Chain A
Amino acid sequence: MSRHKLLFLILAGLVLARTPARADMADHPSTEKLRVAAEVGFAPFNFRQADGSVTGFSYDMSQEIAKRLGRPGYDVVDIVFANIYAALQAKRIEYIIGPMTITPQRSAEMLFGEPYFDVALAFLTRADSRVKTIEDFRGKTVAVTSGSVQDEWMKANAEKYGIEVSRFDKTADAVQAVAIKRVSAYMTTSASALWTAKNQPVFGADVIVKTEGVFALPFRKDDVEFRDLVDVKLKCMKRDGTLAGIYRKWFGTDPAPDSATVKIYPGHGAPGWPGYTPDAPPLLCD
């Protein structure tokens, strides 16, 4: 693991040293498969089925984007969450499909596209847990995924609530740590916690923390042209109901009409965040 990371670091450095960073559609060749990355194992957004293939809401969404971009296929590279940014910057991938909440730090480093999902946070616990409020975690250990918004939330709030934090590289390991009572809970996206609790009865999902956050697709900072192109495809998927259909498939209900999954945002990018362009030509869908 550590050796892979270091090797990757060196390779990434070499790649960067050789290729001058320039926004270029040549990084997105229409004759090649769309290369994207996620930390696979984050149900129901992107996770493996029994036969080893990847599936999920994010997977389906970007598969449709690849199709509408006219790319001949679609490859998902599985990278632990905290390393995904380095892979993006090193041009190993074209964008990140793994759900990503827009944050000030991330938007300083990356270019976000059209928001597509409203985010709340929740604690995945065991079904027999007696936790009712966040105060009940005082003196207990809670897992997070390294580098996630929950990790960041803990950096700001763990001390206040007296929570001990365990940071895992992989979501699957953190979920497992809950199952074997290593930790009292795993703090994650509420949609994921609810899905896991519903599909695996040993788990429960408690204490939803409401946030203003949204998921949006992250691109390289200078990749404006490609971001705008993908934005258009995503807006069209909202307009013709494809995205709502994918949402129904994974969450069993219709997305709320005012949610980021339905609402078509004006301009390109996420309003209020760096890299947002308010002016865009009228939306034309095929």
Chain B
Amino acid sequence: MGDILHLYFNLGYWWDSAPALLRGAGRTLELAAATLIFGLSCGLAMAVTRALRIAPLSVVIVMMVDAARAVPGIVVIFLLYFALPYADIRLPAFVCAVLALASNLAAVSEEAFWAGIQAVPRGQSEAARALGLSRLVILRRIIMPQGIRLGIPLLTGKAISITKDTALASVVAVPELLNQMSTEQGVYANPSPLMLGAIMFLLIFLPVVRGSRWLERRFQWAR
């Protein structure tokens, strides 16, 4: 037992590594926020474009979505970080990570929003059409508000898992929380910073998990 306390709950090492881990936690939050904002808005934009039912555009979107869902995020991060420079494009590591994770989230959220859009009964748009509303107005005022609400409960699980995947950015040296945990436990030759980092991950993502439950309930009720 003394060993566990010394190796994982060593308050001295916790204190020493806390500043670096907190900086890392800040970077993790930035990564998560950027990924969510960018990924969800791209996903929504694609779903709306697809709802316009312009055949060539829809085909392109479906192809992009399938590709983005099929390739693991860490592979995309590696490609963007290590392969693109050969084409003389050097995106910052932070941007590589956000692009990789957001493209995956965008693909999944496009599917969810699209499913939501399709779940809106066809009779509604037919009725609106009969009242003389234009296609864009129908989309904006009738289909989208309901489609988004229907899509959100499908998305919360993915949103949580993608924000946790920000830890993947560690492999391209983004100084996020996991990266700092590695460094600190290495420097002190003691895994206590790992445990403190795990606790910080819990503190960051527990509210996200709770929030997603609230979102799911709220939007299910609205239905």
Contact = CB atoms under 8 A, between A and B. Distances in A.
Contacts of B58: none
Among A82, A83, A176, the most chain B Cβ lie within 10 Å of the Cβ of A82
Interface string B137-177: 00000000000000000000000000011011011110100
A110 B85 contact: no
Interface in B161-206: 164-165, 167-168, 170-173, 175, 178-179, 181-191, 194-195, 198
Interface residues of B, number: 37
Nearest to A110: B189
Contacts of B1: 17
B189 A106 contact: yes
Contact of B93 (A86, A108, A146, A166): A166
B182 A1 contact: no
Nearest to A147: B186
B189 A168 contact: no
Contacts, number: 109
A256 interface: no
A155 interface: yes
Among A110, A170, A180, the most chain B Cβ lie within 10 Å of the Cβ of A180
Contacts of B184: 147
A5 interface: yes
A177 interface: yes
A9 B194 contact: yes
Interface residues of A, number: 42
Contact of B195 (A2, A9, A177, A181): A9
A83 B7 CA distance: 13
Contact of B179 (A12, A146, A155, A182): A146
B55 interface: no
Ranked nearest first, the 4 interchain pairs of A and B with the lowest CB-CB distance are A147-B186, A2-B167, A82-B186, A82-B182
Interface of A: 1-2, 5-6, 9, 12-13, 16-17, 21, 80-83, 85-86, 89, 103, 105-106, 108-110, 143, 146-148, 151-152, 155, 166-170, 173-174, 176-177, 180-182
